[in-house]
Structure formats: C-alpha cells, structure tokens
C-alpha cells in the first residue's frame, strides 16, 4: 500500500514538472533576453557617448582652428581699419606742391618722434615739409632706398621758419618736447595766443600752414623766445602730404 502511494506521488510530481516546464523555461529565457537587451543597450549607450565625445572633441578642435584663423585675420586687418578711420579725418588736397605719403613705421623705437614714410625721392638735398590737414607736422630729411626718414615736430632735430601773429613776426621754430621759436626781434610785440604759421622763407614749407599758438614769452639778451602749443598731434602719425616743390606759388 505504501509503495502504491509512493509511486502515485512520483507520477504526480512528474506530471507537474512536465506541466510547468515550458513556463519556467520561457521565464528563464525571457529574463535572459531582457538582461541581454539591457546590457546591449547600455553598451550602445556607452559607444554613442564615446562617439559623441570624440565628435565634439573633433568639432571643438576644428572650431578652435577656425577661431584662431579669424583672430589672426582680425589682427591683420585691424591696423588697416584704424588707418582707414584716420584717413576719414584726413583732408584730401589736390595741389601740385603736395605729394601724398603714408607712415610705414617708427624709425627707431622706443623713439616715437621719427618715422619712415612712403615718400620716394632719390636725393633730398634740403628738408621737405610734412603737412597734416593744413598743420605743420614735421620735416622729411633723408631718402632711404624707396622710402624716406621724417622727423615729427616733437623731434629735437626738427626746425623751420615761421611767422607769429597778424604782423608776421619772423622766427625759427625748434622742435622737441617743448616747441620753442627763437631769434625773434626784441622790439616786436608778441601776445599770448598769437597764431603761428609757416613763413616759407626756408623753402621747407610754403607760407601759411598752421603750426600752433603762443603760450609763453621769454626775454633773452638779444632776442625774444616763445613757446607754442602745436596743432598737430604727433601720437598718431598716419597720412601726410610732403611739400615736394621748392618753387612755391605765392
């Protein structure tokens, strides 16, 4: 009897196992497939992130290169743009006595009182006047190959003849940090604020170019001396005219 019950129990268990075998297998496979899919999705996500990172890195590299190119271009054109801004302030004059010229560079830094200009003359026997917007700016003194050396008003080597005031009192202007007019006759009356213009007597400039105004007067033994406030600002040398013809039309 006991054996019969035992065998019956075995038969029932075998039947149950066959009945539930497929769902269990399906559940195991389903869990395995889900886990596999999850892992694959995770791996894909990692590869996409890595790919995105490298793409972004490459794109950043390209953008940085382009940005440097643009910066270099801006650096190159900025002086040109600044020159064109200055050119807008520059008065264009059609005059056979004048030759248009442009600053190339400072002649010898840190000295900013002498410059190289594009004016080209084989032999400069006498200085040539440098003019900016009807203001005396300096003198061209020496030809160097296909350009020239010029001294601005604030250079110690600059000098030219001038007239002071309405009565055209003559004197010789000497450049430098302080612009001084020397050799003025003592008997001539000079006033603070008198206008100073080029005289043209030395054939460096023609007569009538504005130079500055008198700001102080000093009495010497034989002559008077005056200091002037110049009109031309030498801090931004850009465009000029050179007085190229010594045979001035009065």
Spatial separation of the C-alpha atoms in residues 159 and 237, rounded to whole Å: 18
179-185 and 111-117 beta bridge pairing: unpaired
How many residues comprise the chain?
250
Q: Which residues pair with 217 in a beta bridge?
A: 226
Spatial separation of the C-alpha atoms in residues 174 and 163, rounded to whole Å: 13
Look at residue 17 in the predicted model and tell me its pLDDT.
53
Q: Is the pLDDT of residue 64 over 80?
A: no
Query: Tens of pLDDT along 26-37?
Result: 544 555 555 656
Q: What is the mean pLDDT of the chain?
A: 79
Hey, is 139 helix, strand or coil? strand
Spatial separation of the C-alpha atoms in residues 52 and 46, rounded to whole Å: 10
Provide mean pLDDT across the span 138-157: 93
Closest alpha carbon to 209 in 175, 150, 160, 143: 160
- Could you tell me the CA-to-CA distances from 3 to 7, 16, 215 in Å, in that order? 6, 20, 139
Provide mean pLDDT across the span 33-54: 65
Closest alpha carbon to 134 in 229, 243, 227, 237: 243
Query: Tens of pLDDT along 170-218?
Result: 999 999 999 999 999 999 999 999 999 999 999 999 999 999 999 999 9
For 98-243, give the CATH class. mainly beta
Say if residues 120 and 140 touch (Cβ distance below 8 Å).
no
Say if residues 138 and 233 touch (Cβ distance below 8 Å).
no
CA 46 to centroid of chain Cα atoms: 48
Look at residue 249 in the predicted model and tell me its pLDDT.
44
Q: Who has greater pLDDT, 238 or 169?
A: 169
Query: Tens of pLDDT along 68-93?
Result: 665 554 544 444 445 555 555 666 67
- Could you tell me the CA-to-CA distances from 10 to 6, 13, 170, 203 in Å, in that order? 6, 5, 140, 135
Domain boundaries, the chain: 98-243
Spatial separation of the C-alpha atoms in residues 77 and 36, rounded to whole Å: 60
Look at residue 77 in the predicted model and tell me its pLDDT.
46
Say if residues 170 and 187 touch (Cβ distance below 8 Å).
no
């Amino acid at each position: 009897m006991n054996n019969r019950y035992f065998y019956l129990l075995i038969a029932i268990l075998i039947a149950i196992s066959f009945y539930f075998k497929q769902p269990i297998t399906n559940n195991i496979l389903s869990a395995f497939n889900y886990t596999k899919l999850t892992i694959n999705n995770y791996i894909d996500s990692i590869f996409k992130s890595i790919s995105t990172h490298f793409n972004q890195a490459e794109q950043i590299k390209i953008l940085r290169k382009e940005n440097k190119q643009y910066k270099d271009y801006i650096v190159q054109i900025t002086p040109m743009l600044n020159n064109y801004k200055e050119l807008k302030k520059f008065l264009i004059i059609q005059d056979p006595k004048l030759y248009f010229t442009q600053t190339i560079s400072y002649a010898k830094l840190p000295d900013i009182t002498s410059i190289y200009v594009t004016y080209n003359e084989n032999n400069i026997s006498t200085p040539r006047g440098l003019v900016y917007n009807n203001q005396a700016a300096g003198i061209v003194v020496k030809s160097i190959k296909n350009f020239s050396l010029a001294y601005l008003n604030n250079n110690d080597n600059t000098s030219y003849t001038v007239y002071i005031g309405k009565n055209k009192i003559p004197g010789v202007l000497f450049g430098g940090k302080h612009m001084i007019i020397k050799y003025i006759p003592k008997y001539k009356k000079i006033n603070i604020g008198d206008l100073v213009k080029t005289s043209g007597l030395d054939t460096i400039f023609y007569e009538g170019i504005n130079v500055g105004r008198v700001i102080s007067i000093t009495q010497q033994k034989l002559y008077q001396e005056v200091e002037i406030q110049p009109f031309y600002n030498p801090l931004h040398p850009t465009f000029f005219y050179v007085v190229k013809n010594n045979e001035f039309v009065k």
